[in-house]
């Protein structure tokens, strides 16, 4: 033991700042995953460094280690740098040599990642061997400018009726999913991934699901569900579990964005889901405090807004000159007791193009998804809807918002006039029609047909409590009897005169048959 210490002391004594501190440094202190390093005077922000236990070998030899320990430079100081350790921090000790790698933190990207589960550094964690991805892209990069972008006008169908009808999402948009814990935020995101199975293969988005600070068992369950539904054929999972160091939880969303950008730059569409950025913010706060960065509002560092803005600004719809690809971002944020005015929620709301707000009270009442239509909004709006959906869904949001107001008023009054009672019943029917369980996303043409039936009074002859069961029967009926109409809506993205006529005939037949049955 004494001989090892003597050797290290001898090697340190032989290392001097004048002997090349620009390219190598020495660990001055280490703890909690942070290394303070003397030297490295030419190091750049976000540059990778290599912790090396041996002084007398070249960088090329050091990189051949089977389990190299990397670091990421995050603080540039007068007498050295501070770096976070990307790996087993217990193996980094005072006096260890640190080598500059001369490149920004990069990860492997490529088609071979599809169907795989990887770490934020691009390493496979699904036990299926190497990914085979060769191309390297820096994990941080400047977002595309306004000139390189095109307007968002192609819908990204989630398969969730309430979202596609009232809060449409376009390819290239950033739409926040926000709500308390256990209100169904992840369910909307997973249903969106599963629903892409119904999109034509040529235009199907590549989906990237980023799990930040989640239980490994939860992520494994989600991967198994996606695999069983055939969705892993076009999905990549990036995971930084709760057991991972804060540095990896901080990097995971950037890794997801980098992988998505690869496909966007190939002229394809990509969807990246960050689940969730609240946990990334906590990991970043932990790192920042250890890096001696001063805390600000609610003890978050002052640059937390910049952290999320530079991540989410990378979502874009590129112009034709740039290939026409898109990267859609669905960040998830967890609120505490529904407080959307807290620091992190307001930050992300101001960065994104709208939000889907899930309310605990509605969830507890049995509404699925528990969307508060008053607070939820899409700033892209009907530009991201097909003609068919624009025709059928125009007034739903306003009617539901009015129904919520009347429903609140109804609690204080036992006597209601006929018109108010009619509007409340209509609101209840619409709520039932928009109710949708987890894991059953619907193709766009079926959504359009069901909402057409709802907005044209075909459910009015049924009591609100019957509507849920009737809607399930209608779905089955339309699939069997109106396949041609549904296909016409799917192909034209519109409900044309001939299709509308046929659809009305089918709906009248269905209502007549089931009104007699229920009566």
Active-site residues: which are they? 379
Could you tell me whether strands 97-104 and 24-31 are parallel, antiparallel, or unpaired per DSSP bridges? antiparallel
Spatial contact of 252 and 212, defined as CB atoms under 8 Å apart: yes
φ and ψ at residue 469, rounded to 5 degrees? -70, -40
Spatial contact of 253 and 210, defined as CB atoms under 8 Å apart: yes
Spatial contact of 137 and 106, defined as CB atoms under 8 Å apart: yes
Spatial contact of 313 and 279, defined as CB atoms under 8 Å apart: no
Kindly give the interhelix angle for 343-351 and 277-290, rounded to the nearest 10 degrees.
Answer: 120
Query: How many Cβ atoms sit within 10 Å of the Cβ of residue 408?
Result: 9
Q: Name residue, tokens 């990307």.
A: 86
Sign of the CA dihedral running 491, 494, 497, 501:
positive
Give one DSSP letter per residue of 240-280, joined into a string: E-TTS-HHHHHHHHHHHHHHHHHHHTTT-EEEEEEETHHHH
Distance in angstroms (rounded) separating the CA atoms of residues 272 and 207: 6
Nearest residue to 448 via CA among 475, 422, 472, 410 = 475
Distance in angstroms (rounded) separating the CA atoms of residues 44 and 72: 10
Distance in angstroms (rounded) separating the CA atoms of residues 101 and 482: 62
Give 342: exposed, middle or buried? Use CB within 10 Å, 0-12, 13-18, 19+.
middle
Spatial contact of 221 and 103, defined as CB atoms under 8 Å apart: no
Nearest residue to 170 via CA among 189, 188, 153, 150 = 153
Helix (H) or strand (E) holding 61: helix 59-62
Query: How many Cβ atoms sit within 10 Å of the Cβ of residue 320?
Result: 8
């Amino acid at each position: 033991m004494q001989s090892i210490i003597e050797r290290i002391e001898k090697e340190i004594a032989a290392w001097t700042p004048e002997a090349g501190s620009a390219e190598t440094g020495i660990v001055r202190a280490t703890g909690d995953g942070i290394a303070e390093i003397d030297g490295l005077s030419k190091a750049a922000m976000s540059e990778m460094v290599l912790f090396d236990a041996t002084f007398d070998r070249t960088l090329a030899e050091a990189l051949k280690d089977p389990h190299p320990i990397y670091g990421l430079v995050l603080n540039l100081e007068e007498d050295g740098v501070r770096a976070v350790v990307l790996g087993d921090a217990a193996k980094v000790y005072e006096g260890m040599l640190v080598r500059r790698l001369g490149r920004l933190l990069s990860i492997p990207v490529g088609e071979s990642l599809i169907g795989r589960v990887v770490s934020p550094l691009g390493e496979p964690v699904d036990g299926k061997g190497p990914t085979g991805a060769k191309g390297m892209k820096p994990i941080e990069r400047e977002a595309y400018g306004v000139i390189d972008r095109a307007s968002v006008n192609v819908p990204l169908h989630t398969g969730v009726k309430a979202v596609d009808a009232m809060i449409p999402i376009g390819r290239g948009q950033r739409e926040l999913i926000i709500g308390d814990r256990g209100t169904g935020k992840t369910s909307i995101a997973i249903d969106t991934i599963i629903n892409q199975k119904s999109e034509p293969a040529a235009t199907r988005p590549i989906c990237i699901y980023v799990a930040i600070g989640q239980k490994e068992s939860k992520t494994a369950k989600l991967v198994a569900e996606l695999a069983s539904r055939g969705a892993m054929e076009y999905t990549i999972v990036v995971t930084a579990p709760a057991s991972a160091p804060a540095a990896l939880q901080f990097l995971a969303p950037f890794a997801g964005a980098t992988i998505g950008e690869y496909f966007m730059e190939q002229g394809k569409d990509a969807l990246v889901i960050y689940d969730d950025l609240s946990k990334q913010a906590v990991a970043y706060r932990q790192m920042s405090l250890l890096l001696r960065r001063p805390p600000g509002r609610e003890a978050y560092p002052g640059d937390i807004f910049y952290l999320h803005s530079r991540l989410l600004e990378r979502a874009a719809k590129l112009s034709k000159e740039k290939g026409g690809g898109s990267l859609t971002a669905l960040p998830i944020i967890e609120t505490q007791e529904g407080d959307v005015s807290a620091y992190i929620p307001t930050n992300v709301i101001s960065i994104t193009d709208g939000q889907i707000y899930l309310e605990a009270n509605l969830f507890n009442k049995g509404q699925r998804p528990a969307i508060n239509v008053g607070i939820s909004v899409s700033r892209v709006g009907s530009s991201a809807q097909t003609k068919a959906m624009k025709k059928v869904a125009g007034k739903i949001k306003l009617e539901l918002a009015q129904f919520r107001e009347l429903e609140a008023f109804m609690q204080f009054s036992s006597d209601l006039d006929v018109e108010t009672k009619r509007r409340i019943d209509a609101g209840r029917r619409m709520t039932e029609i928009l109710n949708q369980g987890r894991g059953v996303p619907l193709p766009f043409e079926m959504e359009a047909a069901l909402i057409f039936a709802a907005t044209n009074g075909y459910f009015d002859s049924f009591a609100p409590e019957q509507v849920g069961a009737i809607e399930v029967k209608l779905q089955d009926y339309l699939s069997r009897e109106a396949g041609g109409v549904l296909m016409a809506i799917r192909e034209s993205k519109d409900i044309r005169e001939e299709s509308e006529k046929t659809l009305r005939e089918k709906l009248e037949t269905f209502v007549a048959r089931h009104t007699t049955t229920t009566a």
